[in-house]
């Protein structure tokens, strides 16, 4: 549901801004861009969270997280690492907008990763799983996601500004400016 687009922009979401969708895409005179998404699975014994930690949920990977010490989320004093995390995912987004990512391949790999994460987490025994084990599962999910993103970028080429957004003049101008600021 968090990845859905309205019927006017479905299939064009990387060339046109959208404020009517759950998954919003920037690039217009007004509005914004979805900056992160999460799903909470609240149980009586174990609460699990699935987070993107990135903008653009329609291309992002949802990863499992638990409220445990030493998890994959950034803490105070780790701002530089958090910015690098965000930049890598934004680089992927910009490559997608420039038509440089094989989107069908990437989304298939993303879905495969999420299915693996789901199967892995379904077998968790809340009473028999330590917070260290939960943190390890989360950290591995973040590492696997980063590997997929790096693989997609490697396949596309490393120069982020080589391609340009594929929308109208204003949309392209908006994202060229965003790329410069990033």
pLDDT at 162: 58
pLDDT at 157: 81
72 in any annotated domain: yes
5 near 21, Cβ under 8 Å?
yes
Mean pLDDT by 10 residues, the chain (182 residues): 79 76 77 81 85 90 83 74 89 88 94 95 83 89 96 80 69 81 80
Sequence-separated (6 or more) residues with CB below 8 Å from residue 114: 61, 62
pLDDT at 144: 97
pLDDT at 32: 75
Phi and psi at 64, nearest 5°, equal: -80, 140
98 in any annotated domain: yes
Q: Which range marks the domain in which residue 46 is found?
A: 38-181
Instruction: State the total domains in the chain.
Output: 1
Write the CA distances from 172 to 25, 42, 166, integer angstroms.
13, 41, 7
15 in any annotated domain: no
171 in any annotated domain: yes
9 in any annotated domain: no
145 in any annotated domain: yes
């Amino acid at each position: 549901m968090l990845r859905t687009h309205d019927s006017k922009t479905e299939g064009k979401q990387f060339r046109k801004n959208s404020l009517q969708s759950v998954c919003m895409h920037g690039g217009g005179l007004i509005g914004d861009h979805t900056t992160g998404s999460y799903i909470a699975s609240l149980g009586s014994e174990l609460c699990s969270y699935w987070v993107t930690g990135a903008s653009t949920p329609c291309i992002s990977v949802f990863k499992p997280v638990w409220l445990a010490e030493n998890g994959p989320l950034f803490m105070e004093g780790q701002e530089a690492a958090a910015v690098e995390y965000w930049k890598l995912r934004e680089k992927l987004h910009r490559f997608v907008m420039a038509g440089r990512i094989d989107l069908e391949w990437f989304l298939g790999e993303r879905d495969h990763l999420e299915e693996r994460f789901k199967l892995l987490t379904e077998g968790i025994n809340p009473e028999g799983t330590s917070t260290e084990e939960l943190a390890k599962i989360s950290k591995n999910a973040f590492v696997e996601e980063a590997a997929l993103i790096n693989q997609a970028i490697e396949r596309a080429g490393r120069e982020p500004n080589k391609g340009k957004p594929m929308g109208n003049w204003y949309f392209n101008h908006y994202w060229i400016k965003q790329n410069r600021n990033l």
